[in-house]
Structure 1
Amino acid sequence: MDTLQQRFDRLWPHVTVLGAPDAAPRLTVVLFHGCGGIGRNITLFADYAVSLGLRAVIVDSYAPRGVKRRMAAFLACNGLWLRGYQRSGDVLALLWGLSQRSEVSGTVLAGWSHGAWAIMDLMTQSLTRPGEARLSDPISEPLKQVRGLFLMYPYVNFLARSTDRAWRTQVPTMMVIALKDHLARFGLSLKAVRRLRAQGVPLETVVVDSTHAFDELGADRFGFMKYDPQSVSTVRAAFADFVRKFKT
């Protein structure tokens, strides 16, 4: 089982950092891909975040584990490997490492589907016992720098901890819900929203009349998903409004 330092050291060589080449403290968006791995939807969104004056950090959870993307996607998308709770240690380790960097004034955690699952699972943990987040020395201090959560069509189905556990950490959250989502069906997503709001989580929603992965170029090759540029524009505008309140 990794320590925070070990997990960070494993992940960092496979992290992509984007933004102004200066040392000025800036709000930093940390992006966690879906079960399909890093695609153009992730890199384009990171570029958009940079255009807003933020830094962006794209985290690859597959490469450090030595599993090729195609096999990793098959295993993760089917829930056979690297479930949200296991991957939540990646989120905590990146926060831990970034909290030691003066150019990071605060962070927004952004997750797509499986990546959002990992972020949400992290929110349910006390981080006071060895083994939580699959780390030997978890601590909650890195979460103090988190200004908000941006969750794109998060997986809120079977095995997701947020279905029956309260969030121990509550920060402003924006959840993007797709009406035609086949993985996180609208009814399940709405149930998750109501549960989190009842717990006191400050949660905004953006509802789009689209499918899962509507922001992924080439999604049309799958019969149950479709790229929707109008919804992409809607979500980008909502994200800009969301992060504006956290910029320093």
Structure 2
Amino acid sequence: MTQRFDIGGHWQKLMPHITVYGPDDEAARPAVLLFHGSGGIRSHLHDYAKAAATAGWRAFVVDSYGHRGWKRWFSFIFISTLILFHGHERTVDVRAALWGVKQRADVDPNRIVLAGWSHGSWTIMDLMTLEPETSDLLHGVTGLFLVYPYIGPKSRTPKHGWRWWPKTMLIVSGQDHITARDFTHSVFADLKAQGLPLEIRNFDATHAYDEPGFAIDWPPNQPMRHHRQATKDTIAAFVDFLKGI
């Protein structure tokens, strides 16, 4: 069942924890909402948002932890380990952010993209599985940009499929230790067969390769390593995707 909540009240709590980028004007521009991974807001999300703004979009970096008072250590202990805050529970943030952004006169409500990284992608994907009562809210969501999405035992997508099929770009990490590349391709092959307009970009990199905090070369066997070129190429793919919406 879709979670029932005070969407306007939730937006008011969430709003102070959203960073907004975009051209300095009042034009109704397309908007992209960015949702972080389980580790919380990291600097690379702002790089994507700035690239979107340069391309003429309004970008909203949404912090799901700020209004809940959760710190980074809390996320590592409880969220990255799947103890708390699963994707379907976090959909309240996506729904509230969508609702709030659509109230803005400087946003085109018919051209909105949802972008997620890992847990953020999981959340967006779970939203796509929810009941038809979300249809009015999802009207105008014309694209999804999903970066190394978590698709595991708690994810709704493999069992439930999607009810909505926006144009989607999927970013897959070939060395992902959290969700295997082949499984990710299999799940999205099923979605494509259902009618999802899908483009896939594959990178020979680890999970979270675009986060700057990980060492690049040493030790070579660590599960997450920053990859500079793949990061640049993913940001370029992000901008190309937005331009095609």
TM-score after normalising by structure 2:
0.92
Decide whether the 8 Å contact of 1:181 with 1:212 is kept in 2. yes
Matching residue's letter, 2:36: H
Q: Which runs of 5+ in 2 are unaligned?
A: none
Work out the CA distance in 2 between the residues paired with 1:125 and 1:102.
Answer: 28
Consecutive unaligned residues in structure 1, runs of 5 or more: 129-138
Q: What is the match of residue 87 of structure 2?
A: 84
Residue matched to 1:136: none
Distance 1:36 1:127 in 2: 31
- Distance, in Å, in 1 between the alignment partners of 2:83 and 2:116 is 20
Please tell me whether the aligned partners of residues 48 and 238 of structure 2 are also in contact (alpha carbons under 8 angstroms).
no
**Equivalent residue for 2:124?**
119
Paired residue type of 1:38: I
Task: Find the counterpart in structure 2 of residue 240 from structure 1.
Answer: 239
Does the 8 Å CA contact 1:214/1:231 hold for their aligned counterparts?
yes
Match of 2:18 among 15, 18, 42: 15
Matching residue of 1:6? 9
Report the Cα distance in structure 1 between the residues aligned to 2:60 and 2:96, rounded to whole angstroms.
13
CA–CA distance in structure 1, aligned partners of residues 115 and 32 of structure 2: 7
Q: CA deviation at 1:149?
A: 0.3
Within 2, Cα distance between the matches of 1:122 and 1:141? 13
**TM-fit CA distance, 1:73:** 3.2
2:23, 2:54 within 8 Å by CA — same for their partners in 1?
A: no
1:153-164 correspondence to structure 2 within 5 Å: 153-164=148-159
CA distance in 2 between partners of 1:240 and 1:2 (Å)? 33
Asked whether the 8 Å contact 1:37–1:73 carries over to 2, the reply is: no
SS in 2 for 1:140: helix
Name the CA distance, whole Å, in 2 between partners of 1:50 and 1:72. Answer: 29
Among all aligned residue pairs of Structure 1 and Structure 2, give the percentage whose two residues are the same amino acid. 40
Cα 1:44/1:9, change in 2 over 3 Å: same
Pair 1:170-2:165 in alignment: yes
Corresponding residue for 1:132?
A: none
Q: Which residue identity is paired with 2:199?
A: E
How many positions carry a matched residue from both structures? 236
**How large is the Cα RMSD of the aligned pairs?**
1.4
